[in-house]
Structure 1
Amino acid sequence: MTRTELFERIKERLAALYGSRFKGLVLYGSAARGDAAEDSDIDLLCLLQDPVNPYQEVRPIVEATSQIRRDYAAHAVSIRAVSIQEYERGAYPLVIEAKREGIPV
C-alpha cells in the first residue's frame, strides 16, 4: 500500500465515522517536512467540526482505522483529533507546527 492509498483509506474511514463533522486530514511532523528517518512514524491530524474532546476521540479513531494501520506495516501511524476551529487559529504548539509544516492529504 502506498502512502497515498493509506491516506485515502483513512479518510474514507474517518468520513464514515464522523460524517459531516470530518473536515480533513493533515500530515505533519518529520514525514511532512521530508526529514523522516527509516523508523519514523506518520503523524496525522484529523480535523473535526466543534466540539472536539481529543481524549474521547482516541478510541473511535483507533477502532475505525486499526486494520488499515496494521495493513500499512512500513511505519506506525498516529492520528490525533483536533477541531477545525482550533487548527485555524493555531490554538496550541502542536497545531501551530501542523499549520506551519503540515500537508493536507
Structure 2
Amino acid sequence: MKIDFGKNEFSEHIRLTLLAVLVGLTAGLASVIFKKMILLFQNQFWRAESFISSVSSQPWYLTILIPALGGLIIGPIIYYGAREAKGHGVPEIMESLIFRGGRIRAKT
C-alpha cells in the first residue's frame, strides 16, 4: 500500500507540525516564566521562599483578609469588564459555540 502525499498536503502537514512545535515551546516557556514571576512576587511581598511558611508566619486575620480583598478587587472587574470570564470555562465556551456561533465578545 503506497501513500501518496501531494506536495501541497505534505507542505501543509510540515507547516502544521512546525506550528504545533512552536506553540508548545512558547506555552512551555510562558509557564516557566509565569512560575518564576509567582515566586518573585511571593518573595517580594511575603518575604518567604515558600507560600506555606509565609502564610503560617502571618497573623490569622491576614490569611483571611488578603484573599478576600483580592476577590473584592477582581469581582467588579469581571462583572463590569469581562462577563465571559466568569464561570468555569468549558460550559461558557460550549454555550458560545451553540448559541452564538462560536463568538465571544472582544473587550478592549
TM-score of the pair, normalised by structure 2: 0.21
- Compare CA radii of gyration and give the structure with the larger one: 2
After TM superposition, the score normalised by the length of structure 1 is 0.21
Q: Which has the higher contact order (CA 8 A, sep 6+)?
A: 1
Kindly indicate which of the two structures has a greater share of residues assigned to strand: 1
